[in-house]
Chains A and B, each alone.
Chain A
């Protein structure tokens, strides 16, 4: 199914770089069924109570993401971020509106989905890699990189159920970031492992971004996304209420003045760049 889009409204730069994700008028309702057994259904009928309620998780969301952009989806719990991500990844289908994606897509909605505790680390790497859309040759070629990244070489032939939770997450994350899609959807998985490993994960995400891949990240770690993402989209009650630079949206969420925070952020960046340049010169 191809989605035709109207001429790109936000002209200029947008017209040159093609979109990676196009979301238009997206609506998603959830039916909350109170009961399902015959007895309960009959009772509800007799008492003239509603059998189900609907809850609108997304209410007319329009979002166009250009290739190579890194977008943070922000918002408090229940604002519809994860639902939007699931709709983009294709796990769920919209009730109205359209979703279109260009190129291959990897939804890292949860690390370790598809890992089986009774299989060894090695078997899980292959199984999870295949689930995330890699073929046998690709997984074989990247296997050593994946294991090296996770730093659990010694335990790779041990069954995953004997892993510590940290080891498990490391391996799962390592597989996820070695897939090769054009669009990455990342939901709350960057808070993995200890600090050195987190740094490594962030560096890897930066690398993916530098390769020109599109990132859509859901996270509550506001500082992290402010540094990592170029664009922030704030959701509230299933609608987009702000769509500007990630730094400004984060400032808004914290009740700070976006202009001040943005200036400080730019100054900090410039200082770091200057220091790096000075280091390089020395």
Chain B
């Protein structure tokens, strides 16, 4: 804090304020990102006795309800071996996606006081929402791992890689769509409700509560174009990759009389899912930057 520090800027170039480099600035400001994530966690569980334990309880109850309803009432226990692990490995993906995407959509409007007063890379808010969702995803993943281990889990390296790929797909997609809808939501708050609607559907457009063969049977075989369309959904790819990583290598599946077939072109649908997610991230970032200049006056 001395005079020379201020004087040394004589050669600094003239820069137009308020033009960041988007997501690249988030990488540069990762200390601020860390503090925003910590704030979010602190605020979420303020005055709560159980705190982060809630992120175990909620998916646990959700799982129990689905397990009894789907497994016993709809008798999926009989057709899908080790249905409990099958179900849970899909649910955790959907939970991560819903929380990250939903909260990222609300993050811009939710931080209006800050956005109106101080310039900082606004992408930070969407990214920190996704980060918080990832923190909540961790305990669910641990429970899933325990359940898999108990049921004789022997994964290959490729299968573990598939799980990582699925996590990346969901994370990238949630941030991309979160930027897109978060920005548009500033102009029309209808988009919060549209996103809620999308998230309501997403559990059913992927094989979470049923298995993919039922879709294939209904649309005319595994090679029909509707099946291809179904698999182009990045969330479907992510769910199937999680099944492959956590459910497929359990002993009940491996030793089943009829080993359940893998969905067609699993690897390719994973890579195409990643590609689609990356493209949507690019689109989201572009739209976000286009609308960003109006945030302060529209909020």
Q: How far is the CA of A100 from the CA of B17 in the complex (A)?
A: 7
Q: Are B39 and A119 in contact (CB under 8 A)?
A: yes
Q: Are A91 and B14 in contact (CB under 8 A)?
A: no
Cβ–Cβ < 8 Å partners of A88 in chain B: 17
Cβ–Cβ < 8 Å partners of B218 in chain A: none
Cβ–Cβ < 8 Å partners of A59 in chain B: none
Q: Count the B residues whose beta carbon is within 8 Å of the partner chain — how many?
A: 39
Cβ–Cβ < 8 Å partners of A173 in chain B: none
Q: Using a CB-CB cutoff of 8 Å, which residues 70-87 of chain A contact chain B? A: 86-87
Q: Are A118 and B35 in contact (CB under 8 A)?
A: no
Cβ–Cβ < 8 Å partners of A212 in chain B: 3, 6-7
Q: Are B114 and A114 in contact (CB under 8 A)?
A: yes
Cβ–Cβ < 8 Å partners of A91 in chain B: 18, 115-119, 296
Q: How far is the CA of A119 from the CA of B113 in the complex (A)?
A: 17
Q: How far is the CA of A95 from the CA of B46 in the complex (A)?
A: 42
Q: How far is the CA of A119 from the CA of B42 in the complex (A)?
A: 8
Which of A127-135, A238-246, A251-259 lies on the face that meets chain B?
A: A127-135
Does B16 interact with chain A (Cβ within 8 Å)? yes
Does A188 interact with chain B (Cβ within 8 Å)? no
Min Cβ gap A189→B in Å is 11
Min Cβ gap B11→A in Å is 8
Does A186 interact with chain B (Cβ within 8 Å)? no
Q: Are A101 and B15 in contact (CB under 8 A)?
A: yes
Does A136 interact with chain B (Cβ within 8 Å)? yes
Residue of B2, B13, B18, B113 most packed against chain A (CB within 10 A): B18
- Chain B residues close to A by CB (< 8 Å): 1-3, 5-7, 9-10, 12-19, 29, 31-32, 35-36, 38-39, 42-43, 46, 113-120, 188, 293-294, 296-297
- Chain A residues close to B by CB (< 8 Å): 1-3, 5, 18-19, 22, 30-31, 36, 67-68, 86-93, 98-105, 107, 109-110, 113-114, 116, 118-119, 123, 126-127, 130-133, 135-136, 180, 182, 210-213
